[in-house]
Amino acid sequence: ELKVEQNPLFLSMQEEKNYTIYCNYSTTSDRLYWYRQDPGKSLESLFVLLSNGAVKQEGRLMASLDTKARLSTLHITAAVHDLSATYFCAVDPYLIQGAQKLVFGQGTRLTINP
């Protein structure tokens, strides 16, 4: 059974600091997705990583994928309050032909304090 584990689960940071969220998964896959969820809201797609070594950046967020280590990271640079949210990684373990059966991590609740 595929397991996707994120750490930390809770992260409280100050503005302007840098930090990294880790996503480890237990089976071979080169399809990894990062989502953001604000309180009471649905999931918003952030990044789609589809190959070993893939790196995507958007503003202060950068995501990378190492399929050999089965590890993805979400790096936050010079955090600002607007980035406070819960971040989920999700892995597609190729269980379905022609579609995705995403397995999500537990989520990392990020709070950025002024």
> Binders of another protein among 71-90, rule CB under 8 A?
88, 90
Which position among 3, 8, 10, 41 is part of the footprint of another protein (CB under 8 A)?
41
Q: Is 43 in the site for another protein (CB under 8 A)?
A: yes
Which position among 23, 33, 65, 112 is part of the footprint of another protein (CB under 8 A)?
33
**Distance between first and last Cα of the chain:** 41
Q: Which is nearer to another protein, 40 or 114 (CB)?
A: 40
Which token pair is 17? Answer: 């600091």
Categorise residue 53: left if φ over 0, alpha if ψ from -120 to 50, beta otherwise: left
Q: Is 39 in the site for another protein (CB under 8 A)?
A: no
CA distance 10 to 88: 12
CA distance 36 to 46: 7
Helix (H, G, I), strand (E, B) or coil at 107: coil
Q: Is 102 in the site for another protein (CB under 8 A)?
A: yes
Q: Which is nearer to another protein, 17 or 101 (CB)?
A: 101
- Residue 48 CB, shortest distance to another protein, in Å, is 6
Nearest to 21 by CA among 105, 113, 101: 105
| Interface ranges with another protein (CB under 8 A) | 31, 33, 35, 41-45, 48, 50, 88, 90, 92, 95-107
